Structure 1
Amino acid sequence: MASKQRRIALMGFRSVGKSSLTIQFVENQFVDSYDPTIENTFHKTFKINGQEYALQLVDTAGQDEYSILPQSYFINIDGYILVYSVNSKKSFEVIQFVYDKLLDMKGNIGTIPVILVGNKSDLNMDREVSTEAGKRVAEKWKIPFLEASAKDNHSSQRVFEQIVTTIERASGNVPEKSGCILS
């Protein structure tokens, strides 16, 4: 069986850990230093339920509520991982602007595979966004939600398994209930 090509964009406010999540998934390491990303693309092939997927991960520059999102963030993208940091209320607000911009650019979000990720769950003592708040927004948007920590490698792989499952479900390749991970 040939591997399925999937192009996925990670979007969110600056320094929420988009690059760290990606590098943890692709290279199994945590990068502690923060160097603002312009835009990077990573590749990883992995299997879910016996199917091989060749992922192209577009690690976007951090967005804010005033960002003009480049057209490249919308062309040939199969799914979106919207990332905020649990220790930043601002990043949680910004991800809602990003979601609205996705709606404006792509139309009916119900047909666009999107997941919401609260990153930096290891910073529980500095938490500004509750797990419940993240779940509420995801339920409102009718998308999967999970929390992760690139630093602790908690749910890093699950983030990418979840977006692939969400993409497959949107294309009618996965039964409705399988793979929906909430934590």
Structure 2
Amino acid sequence: MSVGDALPFDVNWERDDHRITLCVVGSGGVGKSCVTVRYLKDEFVEYYDPTIEESYFKEVECGTRTYDVEIIDTAGQDEFADHRNSALAQGDGFLVLFAINSPYSWQELKELRERIVREHEDKGELPMVIVGNKKDLDSHRQVPFDDIVDYCRSIQCPFIETSAKTGLNITEAFQLLIEQVKLVNPTILEEQWHYKIANQKMRNGHIPSRSSKECCIL
């Protein structure tokens, strides 16, 4: 999987309901913004203000196709809970983060994951990846690896450990989530792909005739 340049939320980007929305969630201080920025720009930002909510758009290659993806870096602070809850309701897939040196964030992850499942209980299986961040602090680990594996097996959810500081497994985590979306909800990828192609043809001045088998959504 490869990505193009990230676009901030407030640029002149054509917004629609056909984009794929991926949410990066977790309690405060687990490195959600650092993971997101590392993925988007391959940079590590050590100091930053607590996030209210940031959204970015990427063109993501998966297999032989390119998809328009919105990545929402959600709020982790309690005072921004309303923003976070809104993102939980609209996501198509979730990276759920904790820090391997923080038992509190591990317990928060379990509660957050249950909240996400409740928000989407009408959809059945939900694309999700559990992410243990701050692997560079492995010598200060306070969440046992075996406990993580046992939990992820019990909920049948993929798990990966990352380091936003070193870049370890950051791209792989997002790739794993896209693969989960493709596995659990392939329709959304197919619809987004056809919508993207139709939009490109319209921008190039091609409008299908009534007899055409192509579908153009206006």
Same fold (TM over 0.5): yes
Measured after TM superposition, the shift of residue 104 of structure 1 is 2.0
Specify the code of the residue in structure 2 equivalent to 1:73: L
Structure 2 stretches lacking a partner, 5+ long: 1-17, 188-218
Counterpart of 1:107 in structure 2 is 121
Counterpart of 1:9 in structure 2 is 23
Measured after TM superposition, the shift of residue 70 of structure 1 is 2.5
Out of 25, 33, 47, the position equivalent to 1:33 is 47
Counterpart of 2:150 in structure 1 is 136
Counterpart of 1:73 in structure 2 is 88
Q: Secondary structure at the match of 2:183?
A: helix
Specify the code of the residue in structure 1 equivalent to 2:56: F
Deviation string, structure 1 residues 122-175 (Cα, Å, up to 9, x no partner): 1011111122222221111111110000100000001110110000100247xx
Change (3 A) 1:78 1:169: same
Counterpart-to-counterpart distance in 2, 1:151 and 1:113: 26
Measured after TM superposition, the shift of residue 38 of structure 1 is 0.4
Count of residue pairs the alignment pairs up = 167
Structure 1 stretches lacking a partner, 5+ long: 174-183
TM-score by length of 2: 0.71
CA-based RMSD of the aligned residues comes to: 1.9
Measured after TM superposition, the shift of residue 109 of structure 1 is 7.4
Measured after TM superposition, the shift of residue 110 of structure 1 is 4.7
Q: Secondary structure at the match of 1:129?
A: coil
Counterpart-to-counterpart distance in 1, 2:76 and 2:133: 14
Specify the code of the residue in structure 1 equivalent to 2:129: I
Out of 64, 76, 82, the position equivalent to 1:50 is 64
**Is 2:164 the partner of 1:150?**
yes
Bigger proportion of residues as helix: 2
Counterpart-to-counterpart distance in 2, 1:72 and 1:151: 25
> Is the CA contact 1:63–1:98 (under 8 Å) kept in the aligned structure 2?
no
Bigger proportion of residues as strand: 1
Change (3 A) 1:32 1:109: farther
